[in-house]
Structure 1
Amino acid sequence: MQVLYFAWVRERVGLAKEQVDTQAATVMELVEELRAREDRYAAAFADLSALRVAVDQDLTDFDASLANAREVAFFPPMTGG
């Protein structure tokens, strides 16, 4: 599955995107796998209230299913301006 990181999430992880081989059933399970990888992932996912997630370009929650998902994107909340 393709995992995309935007804004400060990308800066903390050090990547804009990566291919992740996962057995995670939900976004939260994927987050837990990523957190366990390295400190940089743990720092990026330390405060989930400061993150939004989209699965296959649809904004969703961290309890969303990853069944048949091809892409997950993590980004900070958008603000207008």
Structure 2
Amino acid sequence: MEVRVLFFARSRELAGASEATLSLQPGSTTAALMPHLLEQFPQLSELGTSFVLSLNQEYLAPGEAQPLKAGDEVAVIPPISGG
């Protein structure tokens, strides 16, 4: 199954793209997505755990594992600072 991943702010800079499509095994979760993201975009490891994920425009709690289905949209959102 394929899911769409959106990158924002620093994650966009590190990934070198604003979005990507990842192929995952059916039944995968948002937690299982992370190793695939780091494999394809190893620079994202710079973020450590300083980011949140959203699934279909709903924020997930840190460490929360939600089931994914084909066509889902996951966003990687690092801390954003500004003034």
* Cα RMSD, aligned residues only: 2.2
How far apart in 2 are the matches of 1:78 and 1:52? 11
* Percent identity of equivalent pairs: 26
Structure 2 runs not aligned, ≥5 long: none
CA gap 1:26/1:15 in 2 versus in 1, 3 angstroms: same
**1:31 Cα deviation from its structure 2 partner:** 0.8
Deviation by residue 1:21-74 (Cα, 9 ceiling, x = unmatched): 11262222111012123xxx2221344421111001000044322333610000
More helix by share: 1
CA gap 1:53/1:79 in 2 versus in 1, 3 angstroms: same
Output the TM-score relative to the length of structure 1: 0.76
User: What is residue 64 of structure 1 aligned with on the other side?
Assistant: 65
Output the TM-score relative to the length of structure 2: 0.75
